Amino acid sequence: MRKIVAGNWKMNGTRENLVEIKKISDRFSGSDVDIVICPPFTLLSAAKEIATNIFIGAQNLHVENSGAYTGEISAVMLEDLSVTHAIIGHSERRNEYGETNDVVARKVTTALKKKLNVILCIGESELERNENKTLSVLKEQIYGSLKDITDIENIIVAYEPIWAIGTGLTPSLAEISTTHDSIRLNLLEMYGSSASNIPILYGGSVNGLNASEIFSVANVNGALVGGASLSFDTFSPIVKAIENKT
């Protein structure tokens, strides 16, 4: 199983922050971890030039490859930059921009056609968690977001409890275990034994202090990191933690 740590910079970063990507790339040359940094669109080209030892991904893409879609970015454009990954279905896209499972599924299809690695995000709200709906919500998102997808070689699933993103809160290890086991079961139900190779990442206030414990949980194959990925100093301990996972 691949070990993966992906950093989602969200709407942060200017050219002066590229030095952090360079530090990460230089420090983890030869690592057995797939390291992916997803900076804003404005930095993708420059990041590709300096990130010789890690992968560069996008935070979103449009369902169409071209057209009158002002302000959007297509998979064709990402392919032109040799971008390798794309985050799709992040909770902020689902909640702030109304992206439904159907929209997410269309984006996944578009990305896979251009051979992009898809980091598919799923997660429950605090209300859904309090109502004990976490597992059913995640199952609905998995089935809906992967609708009609048969080629799963480039699929990565990232579980991010919405209530934990940027709050400093994390589920208990037992909760993470139950959730990731359920996600694995859903994938196996959909795709059979081949789904055992789909990496499942945890996201939601991951940091250098809790990463080792989180990575000790079965079916946690890496992390999708938010704010801590903006700095080499806060991101590198997370990568080191999963490097030590056996």
pLDDT score recorded for residue 169: 80
DSSP the chain: --EEEEEE--S---GGGHHHHHHHHHHTTT-SEEEEEE--GGGHHHHHHH-SSSEEEES---SSSSSS-TT---HHHHHHTT--EEEES-HHHHHHS---HHHHHHHHHHHHHTTPEEEEEE---HHHHHTT-HHHHHHHHHHHHTTT----TTEEEEE--GGGTTTS----HHHHHHHHHHHHHHHHHHHGGGGGGS-EEEESS--TTTHHHHHTSTT--EEEESGGGGSHHHHHHHHHHHHT--
Closest CA to 119 of 90, 162, 150: 90
* Confidence tier at 245 by pLDDT (50, 70, 90): confident
For 151-207, how does the pLDDT look when each residue is reduced to its tens digit (9 = 90+)?
Answer: 999 999 999 999 888 787 889 999 999 999 999 999 999 999 999 999 999 998 899
pLDDT score recorded for residue 168: 78
Q: Please say if the pLDDT value at position 119 is more than 80.
A: yes
Structure tokens at 148: 């009609």
Q: Please identify which of the residues 20, 62, 85, 90 carries the catalytic annotation.
A: 90
Q: Is 90 a catalytic residue?
A: yes
Q: Is 49 a catalytic residue?
A: no
If you average pLDDT over every residue of the chain, what do you get? 96
Q: Please identify which of the residues 20, 124, 128, 160 carries the catalytic annotation.
A: 160
Q: Please say if the pLDDT value at position 99 is more than 80.
A: yes
pLDDT score recorded for residue 167: 81
* Confidence tier at 18 by pLDDT (50, 70, 90): very high
For 40-93, how does the pLDDT look when each residue is reduced to its tens digit (9 = 90+)?
Answer: 999 999 999 999 999 999 999 999 999 999 999 999 999 999 999 999 999 999
* Confidence tier at 37 by pLDDT (50, 70, 90): very high
Handedness of CA 217, 220, 221, 225 (dihedral sign): negative
